[in-house]
Amino acid sequence: QVQIQQWGAGLLKPSETLSLTCAVYGGSFSDYHWSWIRQPPGKGLEWIGQINYIGNTTYNPSLQSRVTISVDTSKNQFSLSLGSVTAADTAVYYCARERGIESYYFDYWGQGTLVTVSS
């Protein structure tokens, strides 16, 4: 059974850097891609980006200049860094596993972390 546990700071000030991490328990870490998705309060889902186990990344063009996703295969963990945050970055942030090989869907999700940006 696959479980994904996520953690990180929930309250930031404008211009600070958001940092979240997900740990994966169970299943194969190398056979999948690992994604970040966010959801502003009362709004829809937005794909942020993904990484595979060798560190290849793809980002949403609208966030690319501020986003870094990294992976630590020794711990089966992956992380999100989003710089220069503003109130518009306030959202629930989810991490998720993606099949990622000729088939793209998110089958396991973390519990979500509410990140609030406020001065």
Partner 1 sequence: QSALAQPASVSGSPGQSITISCTGTSSDVGGYNSVSWYQQHPGKAPKLMIYDVSNRPSGVSNRFSGSKSGNTASLTISGLQAEDEADYYCSSYTINNTRVFGGGTKLTVL
Distance of CA 116 to the CA centre of its chain: 15
Task: Determine, following the binding rule CB under 8 A, whether residue 2 of this chain makes contact with partner 1.
Answer: no
CB of 15 to partner 1, least distance (A): 26
CB-CB neighbours of 107 under 10 Å: 11
- The residue behind tokens 């309250």 is 11
What CA–CA distance (Å, rounded) separates 37 from 4? 14
Per-residue CA distances from 23 to 55, 74, 91 (Å): 16, 11, 20
Q: Which of 2, 9, 11, 45 binds partner 1 (CB under 8 A)?
A: 45
Q: Which of 40, 68, 90, 109 binds partner 1 (CB under 8 A)?
A: 109
Give residues 53-92 in contact with partner 1 (rule: CB under 8 A): 58-62
* Nearer CB in complex with partner 1: 16/46: 46
Binding site for partner 1 (CB under 8 A): 35, 37, 43-47, 50, 58-62, 94, 98-99, 103-107, 109-112
